[in-house]
Each structure stands twice: as structure tokens, then as C-alpha cells.
């Protein structure tokens, strides 16, 4: 008997990322264009458990959102969904709403939950990678990463103006959870003196290199990934003050600024591409895969691999040729 998806549910989950709205828009329009009904689930898995669902019947239901940051569906990190009981409730709501496949827009925590739901209740799920951290294996970029990277570089450029004027060393804390992609690439783009990331364990050396790198000038920038060292940017500043008390330092924690703002054109484009690819995956009867983008081409990778495999941070030789000490 031919099995056909008639209705999908779509939700955003975990930390919001600029471009999530573009993905919601693409999923909705690609589904409606293929005569698949779309049920929008609000507030992530919590909203699924609590049946906070509204049908999108018209492509116009998602108009005017492609340029907006955040997510119109709201998002959450659901504790209840981490439990088998929570996932059972979620499955019962899917049954009640006659949703026969789920599209999850989020990061690795969201995909871990999606995979458990798929395994326990045989629900077809497709993941669309959206997180500013860019820490998912199987895709060169995640939705939101490019926007956050540009936001960080813009902020660091501004700090450089004041740092240069006051001959100060700015130590800037960057998000990323366990990954250093934002920190390393923002440091390269902003011409920072050093990037301290969890993937490399050479803090003392990084700081010394940075101090040497700024010998010819009185100001400088060091980017510190939030979890690279206990105490974050402040701990690095304390270390520098201890060994170089003559240096004037200031600490800036960029915080949630990094998650906001209108998505870049690149994020809007990949979100649109991945949203359509998610519907294509369902039409091809794929299950439990994440949409990825490798060398500009869409690929599908098992959710299990996307979650478990560690994405390598590039150690490309050209990065060693910069003054940047990474």
C-alpha cells in the first residue's frame, strides 16, 4: 500500500537562530505546494505536548517573515520531552492532530529528542539545522551562524575603535556552547590578536602570542569562547593583569546580542533551500535524517550521525600564517 504524508507538523526548538523564520516559510510553502497540510506547533516540544497548534492553510500565513530574526513559532528547551512520558504525550497529540511527519528546526539537543520520538513511536522526522553555534556534523553551515558571525565582527570592529583610542586590550567573550567556530572565524575576520577556543588547550601560549602580537601597537583584541576556560573572558583578563599589570584591559561579554537581528542574505538563502529540501526528503520517504549543505549541495545525513559525530574545526595551514595565534 502506498504510504503518503498528508499532514506535517513544524516546530522550532532550542536556542533561536536568525533564519529560523525563513526556514518555517520555506517548509510551509513547499508543503502546501505539494498538497501537504501544515500544522504549526508553537513553543517547541512543550507546545507539542500541550497541543499549541495552529494550521497554516495559505502561503500568505508565512509572508512578511523572511527578514525577521527570532522565530514566529517561539521556542523552548523542553524538560518534559526529555522523558519517555513526555514523548508519549507528544505522540498522542500528533495522533489527535493527524500529523504524520514532524519537521524540527533546531540544534543537536532538539535532534536528540526528535530521534528518540522517531525510535519509540515510529514517527517520520526530518531535522533542519539551525543554531548560531554551527556545531552540527554533516553540514558546512547551520542556519543563523553567518548572521551571528557578522554581528560579532561588527561589535568587535566597534570595540577596536575605542580600544585603539584608549590604547587598551579588549577581551571579548563569544557564545558557542562547546564549539569554537564563532570565536575562531570572528577572530580571523576581525583581525584579532588571539582566539581562545575549547578545541585547543594552550591558553598560556595563546595569551603570550597575543601579547607579542601587539608589541608594535598599544591596543588589541582577544576573543574568548564562553566555555574555553572557567570564568570566561574575565578569567583571561585576570591572567593578563597578573603577568602584565601595565596593560589596560577591558572585558566585553557579547551575550544574547549574538542571537538577534535580521538574518543575512546567506542565512535566508540556506534556510529557504533547507526548508524545501526537508519536504523533498519526506516526498522521497526519507526518515530520521537531517538536511545538510556540503560544498553548496544538499545532502541528507542520519540524525544519529549529525548528533554523535564531532564536527572538526579547521586547522588549515593558512590560519597559522596570520598574526592570529591560532
The answer to whether the beta carbons of residues 303 and 129 sit under 8 Å apart is: no
Q: Is 19 in the site for ligand F6P (CB under 6 A)?
A: no
- CA-CA distance, 123 to 45, in Å (whole number)? 14
Q: Shortest Cβ distance from residue 66 to ligand F6P (Å)?
A: 22
Among the listed residues 8, 10, 13, 15, the single contact to ligand F6P using CB under 6 A: 15
What DSSP assignment string belongs to 13-27? -SS--TTHHHHHHHH
- Beta carbon of residue 249, minimum distance to ligand F6P (angstroms, whole number): 23
Q: Is 161 exposed, middle or buried (0-12, 13-18, 19+ CB in 10 A)?
A: exposed
Task: Determine which residue in the list 18, 176, 220, 292 makes contact with ligand F6P, applying CB under 6 A.
Answer: 176
What distance in Å separates the CA atoms of residue 4 and residue 7, rounded to the nearest whole number?
9
Closest approach, Cβ 32 to ligand F6P, in A, equals 30
Rounded Cα distance, 252 and 248, in Å:
14
Task: Tell me the β-bridge partners of 56.
Answer: 38
Kindly state whether residue 163 participates in binding ligand F6P, applying the rule CB under 6 A.
Answer: no
Residue 160 binds ligand F6P, judged by CB under 6 A? no
Q: Which residues pair with 169 in a beta bridge?
A: 220, 249
Cα distance between residue 265 and residue 128, in whole Å = 18
Nearer to ligand F6P, 158 or 256 (CB): 256
Q: Is 129 in the site for ligand F6P (CB under 6 A)?
A: no
Member of 75, 131, 185, 264 binding ligand F6P (CB under 6 A): 131
Q: Does 156 bind ligand F6P (CB under 6 A)?
A: no
Stretch binding ligand F6P (CB under 6 A), from 113-121, 155-163, 169-177, 243-251: 169-177
Q: How far is the CB of 174 from ligand F6P (least distance, A)?
A: 9
The answer to whether 134 contacts ligand F6P (rule: CB under 6 A) is no
Backbone φ, ψ for residue 300 (5° rounding): -120, 125
Residue 48: CB minimum distance to ligand F6P, A: 19
In contact, 254 and 155? CB cutoff 8 Å: yes
Kindly list the catalytic residues. Answer: 133
Q: Which is nearer to ligand F6P, 22 or 62 (CB)?
A: 22
> In this chain, which stretch among 80-88, 93-101, 130-138, 202-210 interacts with ligand F6P, using CB under 6 A?
130-138
Site of grid cell 516546530: 11
Exactly one of 61, 100, 133, 173 binds ligand F6P (CB under 6 A); that residue is 133
Chain centroid offset of residue 117 CA: 22
123 in Cβ contact with 104 (< 8 Å): no
What is the C-alpha end-to-end distance of the chain, expressed in Å? 57
Residues contributing to the site for ligand F6P (CB under 6 A) = 15, 107, 131-133, 175-177, 226, 259
Amino acid at each position: 500500500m502506498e504510504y503518503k504524508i498528508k499532514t506535517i507538523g513544524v516546530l522550532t526548538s532550542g536556542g533561536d537562530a536568525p533564519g529560523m523564520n525563513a526556514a518555517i516559510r520555506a517548509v510551509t510553502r513547499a508543503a502546501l505546494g505539494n498538497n501537504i497540510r501544515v500544522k504549526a506547533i508553537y513553543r517547541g516540544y512543550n507546545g507539542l505536548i500541550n497541543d499549541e497548534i495552529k494550521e497554516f492553510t495559505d502561503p500568505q500565513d508565512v509572508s512578511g517573515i523572511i527578514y525577521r530574526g527570532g522565530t514566529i513559532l517561539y521556542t523552548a528547551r523542553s524538560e518534559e520531552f526529555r522523558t519517555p512520558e513526555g514523548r508519549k504525550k507528544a505522540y498522542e497529540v500528533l495522533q489527535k492532530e493527524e500529523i504524520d511527519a514532524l519537521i524540527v528546526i533546531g540544534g543537536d539537543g532538539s535532534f536528540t529528542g526528535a530521534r528518540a520520538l522517531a525510535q519509540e513511536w515510529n514517527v517520520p522526522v526530518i531535522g533542519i539545522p539551525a543554531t548560531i553555534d554551527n556545531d552540527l556534523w554533516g553540514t558546512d553551515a547551520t542556519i543563523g551562524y553567518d548572521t551571528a558571525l557578522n554581528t560579532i565582527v561588527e561589535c568587535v570592529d566597534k570595540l577596536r575603535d575605542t580600544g585603539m583610542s584608549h590604547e587598551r586590550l579588549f577581551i571579548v567573550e563569544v557564545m558557542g556552547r562547546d564549539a569554537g567556530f564563532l570565536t575562531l572565524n570572528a577572530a580571523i575576520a576581525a583581525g584579532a590578536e588571539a582566539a581562545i577556543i575549547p578545541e585547543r588547550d594552550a591558553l598560556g601560549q595563546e595569551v603570550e602570542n597575543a601579547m607579542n602580537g601587539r608589541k608594535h601597537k598599544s591596543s588589541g583584541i582577544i576573543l574568548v569562547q564562553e566555555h574555553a576556560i572557567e570564568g570566561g573572558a574575565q578569567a583571561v583578563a585576570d591572567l593578563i593583569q597578573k603577568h602584565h599589570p601595565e596593560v589596560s584591559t577591558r572585558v566585553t561579554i557579547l551575550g544574547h546580542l549574538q542571537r538577534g537581528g535580521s538574518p543575512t542574505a546567506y542565512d535566508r538563502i540556506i534556510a529557504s533551500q533547507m526548508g524545501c529540501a526537508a519536504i523533498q526528503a519526506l516526498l522521497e520517504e526519507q526518515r530520521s535524517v537531517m538536511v545538510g549543505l556540503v560544498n553548496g549541495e544538499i545532502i541528507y545525513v542520519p540524525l544519529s550521525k549529525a548528533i554523535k559525530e564531532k564536527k572538526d574545526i579547521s586547522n588549515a595551514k593558512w590560519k597559522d600564517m596570520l598574526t592570529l595565534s591560532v
